[in-house]
Amino acid sequence: MNRVFRAEWRKLRRPTLFYGTLIAVMGVTALVTSLLFLMIDSGNGNSREGQLINRQVLSSFKGITIGFSGSAGLLGLVALCVFASQTAQEYTYGTLRNLLVRQPKRMTLLAGKFISMALFSLISVILSAAVSIGLAFALAERAKVSSELWTTADARTALIHTFINVFLSVIAFGTIGMILGLLLRSPISAISIGVAWLLVIETILSAVVKNSAQWMPGQLINSIASGGDFNASYSHAITTLLGYLAFGVLVVAVLFRHRDVSN
Query: What is the band of 114 on the pLDDT scale with cuts at 50, 70, 90?
Result: very high
CA pair distance 34, 68, nearest whole angstrom:
11
| Mean pLDDT calculated for residue range 66-71 | 89
Asked if the model's pLDDT at residue 198 lies above 80, the reply is: yes
pLDDT, mean over the chain: 89
CA pair distance 114, 191, nearest whole angstrom:
17
| Mean pLDDT calculated for residue range 126-150 | 92
Poorest-pLDDT segment among 35-44, 80-89, 203-212: 35-44
Query: What pLDDT, on the 0 to 100 scale, is given for residue 244?
Result: 95
Asked if the model's pLDDT at residue 49 lies above 80, the reply is: no
260: helix, strand or coil: coil
| Of the candidates 65, 215, 25, 75, the residue with the CA atom closest to the CA atom of residue 154 | 65
Query: What pLDDT, on the 0 to 100 scale, is given for residue 179?
Result: 96
Cβ 190 vs Cβ 181: under 8 Å: yes
Q: Which residues of 37-74 are buried (b: 16+ CB within 10 A; e: fewer)?
A: bebbeeeeebbbeeeebebeebbbbbbbbbbbbbbbbb
Query: What pLDDT, on the 0 to 100 scale, is given for residue 43?
Result: 67
| Of the candidates 214, 130, 136, the residue with the CA atom closest to the CA atom of residue 122 | 130
CA pair distance 219, 205, nearest whole angstrom:
11
